Structure 1
């Protein structure tokens, strides 16, 4: 009779067990979907930021070369630099959120490096903009500096895009990253 009652209990709880398993699988898939969508958005934001940096660099270089026509180009350059700064903050916010949500130290370090390099290029562009406003003559070292800063940012941007491409294409999972970081602490008992 015990076997029969166990079987009856098992039959009764089977729908709940299946529902729980389906919920766990759905929850895992949904979290991967959210992570993939956010990663795709981040990659788009990085591309837009790089486009703004490229446009600002071109305007800055043209302002140096055509320094006689500076007043015409200053408003568009100021506008482009302002858009660039806003995009840096938006992209960095998304990057910080994703790196913390995934919990990967390497991604957090990349996020910090991206923030530093983007601020460096913005500050560099701003300094060069001040030179243009003060009608300082263009020198070859100014052009080299602008290109060097842009290349540094392009390198870190490409590194980040490669890191998040696996998440965007559903190849990586936050759960696998989380389980890889489990810290087990062994507490030694005090002996009496």
Structure 2
């Protein structure tokens, strides 16, 4: 790890093999998360707003920030005119910081990969960034995100390059297209998740329209 951040914290996150270990890693890191990732130039929570603004008209209905962490994306989407943004994260410590930041209309503790506590077709769009990476939420999470997004709505997210094939994400994309649940809209080129450090950490952004 470079850039002067806490190597142990990020190493614990990437080394987690169970949901319990990952929760413990984020609990230990929560208070230093924002300053340490900022030092690395972590840009995904802010960049995701560009894809939301490109595809989702304001006033269409509630959005879900799936894996919202400390709530970094919320205030920037609010500045762009999106005022009904709910947040989801499995770490209560992260949600406490998101709550203090005030960028979400509601915050829910739950884990991606399992059932989510919303009705079918509830959201106009869901977005998720930095969550589909090594040791984190599985590709199967996309099934629930599609379920809770209304037809014509969007699922917008980033995927780390090292899990795109190995984690089954590409297969899940193909399955959801083949079964008529969503249509591909946009796929970005690979780009750096950290503007300052970690040049080998590459992600792509994906946008699908729910059918």
Q: Under a length normalisation based on structure 2, what TM-score does the superposition of the two structures give? A: 0.24
Give the number of the structure whose alpha-carbon radius of gyration is greater.
1
**TM-score, scaled relative to structure 1:** 0.25
Highest RCO, 1 vs 2 (Cα 8 Å, sep ≥ 6): 1
